[in-house]
Structure 1
């Protein structure tokens, strides 16, 4: 993800998370830490046919990766895009030499929880009232001693698969195209 992607990312962000969408400033702030020698962030987008269909981001600090965001367009749910995005973030965590990866997921989102469990994430605890509005709890999950997994085989999508574009991890990520 680069600065010129923010407008498209925000459109998907507002569609998927209307009550607690990130602001443009939040994305700008994250991307400010995603380039160069001292980078501590990794953000990617997924496109198909030039259309942005997903994005994801990871922060890495002192050996711990934290999934900041992961999203797939509704018409790409069930296609394996979420798994490809998560694989990309775990690969980035490995490049950042993280020994664990943490994330929060809404307790009322079993679809996402199943994805994370397939990758080896385990429940760690609950953050009461984490998601606002609505005062919805977050399930905190952790993956330890990760090795980048192979994304689970998804059902065959109707259209061409979305590609996930790495932004700051050294070396190519298999099955992706570099964006920017």
Structure 2
């Protein structure tokens, strides 16, 4: 598996995965086109044998936000999600972010474990954020002081 920047020509495959992974909550091609063109956004693809098997994105700022993480069902449990997330966190470090935030479905315990292993901690909930389900808000602290770029929950 290799990680590389997500490109517009990957969007056919991303749309397949979006609908498989997120159903009614799937982003549209137009949303991805906009995201890929936005300053301060970074999207990465995980590719295996020439096929995109996962992707992730982050909005980079002092308080960065993970926008999405998606991994094809056959590639879960193989470190694909962890590799994508680690790449996003490294981009946030380089951008000198203080924190990285994300929302995850309250019922998605597998994703929550992935985020906790990366150092994220739950800090609250957003009731009915996904319409039918609450979101758990999680935060990773990257800088606790001037020049300190170590992860701290």
TM-score interval, normalised by the smaller of the two chains: 0.7 to 0.9
**What 5-or-longer segments of structure 2 have no aligned partner?**
1-5, 144-148
Judged with a 3 Å threshold, the aligned counterparts in structure 2 of structure 1 residues 78 and 65 are, in CA distance, closer, same or farther, namely same
Equivalent residues of 2:47, 2:53 under 8 A apart: yes
**What 5-or-longer segments of structure 1 have no aligned partner?**
34-38, 150-180
Could you tell me which of 5, 8, 13 is aligned with 2:13?
8
TM, length-normalised to structure 2: 0.88
Matches within 5 A, 1:1-180: 1-33=6-38, 39-61=39-61, 63-132=62-131, 135-145=132-142
Deviation at 1:119, TM superposition (A): 1.1
> Is the helix fraction higher in 1 or 2?
2
Q: Residues of 2 paired with 1:15 and 1:74: CA distance?
A: 9
Judged with a 3 Å threshold, the aligned counterparts in structure 2 of structure 1 residues 21 and 96 are, in CA distance, closer, same or farther, namely same
SS in 2 for 1:131: coil
TM, length-normalised to structure 1: 0.75
Deviation at 1:148, TM superposition (A): 7.7
| Structure 1 residue ranges, 4+ long, deviating more than 6 angstroms after superposition | none
Q: Residues of 1 paired with 2:75 and 2:13: CA distance?
A: 16
Number of residue-to-residue matches in the alignment = 141
